[in-house]
Amino acid sequence: MSHPHPELGPPPPLPKGGLRVTPLGGLGEIGRNMTVFEYGGRLLIVDCGVLFPEEEQPGIDLILPDFSSIRNRLDDIDGIVLTHGHEDHIGGVPFLLREKPDIPLIGSKLTLALIEAKLQEHRIRPYTLEVREGERERIGPFDCEFISVNHSIPDALAVAIRTPAGLAVHTGDFKMDQLPLDGRLTDLRAFARLGEEGIDLLLSDSTNAEVPGFVPPERDISQVLHQVFGRARRRIIVASFASHVHRIQQILDAAHEHGRRVAFVGRSMVRNMGIARDLGYLKVPAGLVVDVKTLDDLPESEVVLVCTGSQGEPMAALSRMANRDHQIRIVQGDTVILASSLIPGNENAVYRVINGLTRWGANVVHKGNAKVHVSGHSSAGELLYFYNICQPRNLMPVHGEWRHLRANAELGAQTGVPHERCVIAEDGVVVDLHKGKANIVGKVQAGYVYVDGLSVGDVTEAALKDRRILGDEGFISIFVVVDSTTGKITGGPHIQARGSGIDDANFGALTPRLDEALAKAAQDGVAEVHQLQQLVRRTAGKWVSDTYRRRPMILPVVVEV
C-alpha cells in the first residue's frame, strides 16, 4: 500500500490526460472534508467542511481547510459539489465564497437549503444548482452523475466524476440501512452499474472501517426511545446534532405518542429543523412543536426539549445546562438523552457534561448505557460488500483518522484491489490517476486554518502554544526601568503573577537575582532592550523552575529612561 512520506516535495505538472486528486481535509481526521479534482487545467471541489477544536486549541471556534494551494486558481474552479448537509462537509463554504462569491454550489435540495441559510448569515447569495439522484450534469470538463446514498441526514449523494482520464467515484458519507426511515436506500444497482463500466478510482468513507459487521437500522432506536419516554416522570431533554433529521423525527414521534410537547433550543437546531419541516423532510403533527417560551405553562411531564451539545461543546445548550449557565435549569428527576455518537477527541468533554448533569439529579441516557444511537457510516461488513460490487481498479480511503484509513485499505485489498493500488494519503498529499493507475506524486500545504471570532487564519500554532502555557501555568510579569546611559536599574523590578500559583510576596527571593544579572549586564556593556528582556526572562524562568518546578509564561518589560 502506498503512503505519504515526509520528504514529498511540490507535485510536478499534471500529465496530459491525467486526473489529479488533492485532499485538503478529512484524511487523518474526522472533519474538515474537502477534495480538489483537477483535469485539463480546471478544478472541481467535493465538499468544504470544518473541524471542531479540541481542548489543546483554546479559544478556537472552527478549523478550516487550507485554501492556499488553490487561492491563486479560484477562477479555475467550475463548482463545489456538496455531498450532504453536515457541518464537516459544508461548514467551510462561507469562508471559501468570501474569496470568490460566484463559485457555483451543486447539491441536493436539503443540502442547498442548509448552506443557503448559513450563507445568509454571512450576507452571501450563492449561485446554486439543485440535483437529484440519477441525474448527470456537465460541470466544466467534469461529467458528474449523482447517486443516492443513505446517511444520518436526508438527501445525501455520492458523485461519479467522468473525465477522459477515467471514472472516479466519491462516496461521501454513507451506510447501507436496509430499512431507512425515509425509504431512500443506498443505490447499490447504480454502484454495480458503475462497477461494470469500470471505476478507475474509488474514494470511500472510512469512519467505521474498524468496526466489524453491519450498522443496525436507524429505526431500531425507536423502541428504546419509547421505553425511555415511558419511564420519564419529569422533563425530557434530548441532545443531538442540529442536522440529524432522522433522529429528531423519531424523537417527535415518541413525544407525540406519549402526549408531550416539543421545543427546539439553540439557534442552529431551530433553523435546521425549520428548514427540514418546510421542505417536507420532517413530519411534525399539528400542535406538537411549541415555542420554548411557552414551556412554563405546561406540566413538566409533558415537556420535551431538543437541543445541541451532544459532543460537549462548551457554548452549546447542554453544556451550559450542566454548568448552571442556561435559563433551563436541570432538576432532580429530569431525563437527558444524548442521541449521538462520540466523535474521537470529544470523550472527555462529553463525560464532563454527563457528570455535570448527573450531579444536578438528571438521569442521563447515552450510547454507553442504552441503544440511543446508530452510526451513519458503513462498517467493515458493508464496505466489503460494497467493494465486491464496485470492484475498483484503485482505492483511496477518505474521511477518517489514520487507523480508519489503513483499515479501509486492508478491506479493499481483501476484496481484490492490489495492495499497490490502495493509496493511503493524508491532507495535502497529491494523487494522480494516469494511465489507469493512482500514484502519490507530491504534497501541497494543507495545515490548519483557525477561526477565532472574526479572525480567520491569524492565530498560529505558536499563539496556541502560548495560550496553552497561560492556561496551564499562568504568567509572571516583570517590569524594570534602566538608565539608557549606564544600563543600571533605576526602577523595579516590579513582579506580579496571575494563575501561576505563586504568591507575589514570594518574589522577594527573585529580586536580588534579577538585580545581580542586570548589574553584570551593565558591566559587560549589554544595554539593548531586547537583550535585557531575554536576560530577565531566562533569570526568572530558571528561578521559578528550580524553586517550584513550574514553567509559567514570563513577560519581561524593560523601559529605558
- Report whether 375 belongs to an annotated binding site: yes
Q: Quick one: CA dihedral 229, 234, 240, 245, positive or negative?
A: positive
* Residue 12 CB coordination number (10 Å): 10
In this predicted structure, what is the pLDDT of residue 345?
63
Amino acid at 447: G
Going residue by residue through the chain (561 aa), what tens digit of pLDDT does each one get? 444 567 788 999 999 999 999 999 999 998 899 999 999 999 999 999 998 776 666 667 788 999 999 999 999 999 999 999 999 999 999 999 999 999 999 999 999 999 999 999 889 999 999 999 999 999 999 999 999 999 989 999 999 999 999 999 999 999 999 999 889 999 999 999 999 999 999 999 999 999 999 999 988 888 889 999 999 999 999 988 888 888 899 999 999 999 999 999 888 889 999 999 999 999 998 989 998 888 888 898 999 999 887 776 766 778 888 888 888 888 899 999 988 776 666 677 788 888 888 988 889 888 878 777 888 899 999 999 999 999 999 999 999 999 999 999 999 999 999 999 999 999 999 999 999 999 999 999 988 888 776 667 667 777 667 666 666 677 788 888 877 666 667 777 888 877 777 777 777 788 888 878 877 877 777 767 777 888 888 888 888 888 877 778 888 888 877
pLDDT of residue 494: 83
Domain boundary among 365, 396, 429: 365
Cis status, amide bond into 512, omega within 30 of 0 = no
The answer to the question of residue 9 being in a domain is: no
Same domain membership, residue 494 and residue 448: no
Tell whether 59 is in a known binding site. Answer: yes
Within-domain flag for 182: yes
Give residue for cell 476484496: 415
84 has binding-site annotation: yes
Q: The whole model's pTM is what? A: 0.83
Question: 313 and 237: one domain?
Answer: yes
Residues 102 and 70 in one domain: yes
Q: Is residue 29 part of a domain?
A: yes
Of 252, 306, 262, whose CA–CA distance to 282 is shortest?
A: 252
SS3 554: strand
Does 242 appear as a known binding residue? yes
Active-site residue, from 177, 377, 404, 432: 377
Q: Catalytic one among 66, 78, 155, 205?
A: 205
Asked if residue 7 belongs to a domain, the reply is no
36 labeled part of a ligand binding site: no
- Contact residues for 325 (Cβ-Cβ < 8 A; gap 6+): none
Would residue 410 count as lying in a domain? Answer: yes
Compute the distance between CA of residue 48 and CA of residue 86 in angstroms, rounded to an integer: 10
Is residue 187 a known part of a binding site? no
60 Rama sector, left if φ>0, alpha if ψ -120 to 50, beta otherwise? beta
CATH of residue 334: 3.40.50.10710
- The answer on whether 200 is annotated among ligand-binding residues is no
**Ranges of H-type helices in 198-345:** 220-231, 245-257, 267-278, 317-322
Q: Does 326 count as an annotated binding residue?
A: no
Clarify whether residues 89 and 102 are in a common domain.
Answer: yes
Q: How many CB atoms lie within 10 A of CB 238?
A: 29
Catalytic status, residue 377: yes
CATH number at residue 530: 3.10.20.580
Q: Is 3 a catalytic residue?
A: no
Q: Is 545 annotated as a binding residue?
A: no
| 374 labelled binding-site residue | yes
Which phi and psi angles does 542 have, rounded to 5°? Answer: -65, -40
- 170 annotated to bind ligand: no
Sheet holding 475-482, edge to edge: 489-498, 475-482, 553-560
> In the chain, how many domains are there?
3
For 85, 194, 333, 357, 477, the CA distances from 361, given in Å and listed in that order, are: 35, 54, 6, 7, 43
For residues 370 and 224, what is the distance between their CA atoms, to the nearest angstrom?
A: 7
In terms of C-beta density within 10 A (0-12 exposed, 13-18 middle, 19 or more buried), how is residue 512 classed? Answer: exposed
Q: Are 202 and 261 within one domain?
A: no
Q: Which pLDDT score is estimated for 55?
A: 65
Angle between helices 245-257 and 220-231 (to 10 degrees): 40
Does residue 140 share a domain with residue 110?
yes
**Residue 274 and residue 239 share a domain:** yes
In a domain? residue 1: no
Q: How far is CA 496 from the centre of its chain?
A: 39
Closest by CA position to 480, among listed 558, 538, 536:
558
pLDDT recorded at residue 486: 65
Same domain, 173 and 206: yes
Exposure string for 430-462, b = 16+ CB within 10 A, e = fewer: bbbbbeebbbbbbbbebebbbbbeeeebebeee
Please give the pLDDT value at position 5: 62
- SS3 of 121, please? helix
Q: Binding residue per annotation — 309? A: no
Do both 413 and 426 map to the same domain? yes
- What is the per-residue pLDDT for 455? 62
Q: Which of 456, 477, 507 is the last residue of a domain?
A: 456
Check whether residue 187 and residue 39 sit in a common domain: yes
Residue 278 lies in a domain: yes
Rounded Cα–Cα distance for residues 510 and 477 (Å): 13
Q: Is 61 annotated as a binding residue?
A: yes
Say whether both 230 and 335 belong to one domain: yes
**Final residue of a domain: which of 365, 385, 411?**
365
| Domain range for 532 | 461-560
Q: Any bridge partners for residue 450, and if so which?
A: 63
- Confirm whether residue 291 is marked as ligand binding: no
- Cross-strand pairs, 64: 449
133 domain residue, yes or no: yes
* CA nearest neighbour of 44 among 63, 15, 70: 70
Burial of 481 (0-12, 13-18, 19+ CB in 10 A): middle
In this structure, are strands 142-148 and 136-139 parallel, antiparallel, or unpaired? antiparallel
Residues 302 and 195 in one domain: no
Contacts 24+ apart (CB under 8 A), 411-416: 411/209, 411/380, 411/383, 411/384, 411/387, 412/204, 412/387, 413/1, 414/384, 415/384, 415/387, 415/388, 415/391, 416/387, 416/391
What CATH number is associated with residue 413? 3.60.15.10
Residues 221 and 374: beta-carbon distance below 8 Å: yes
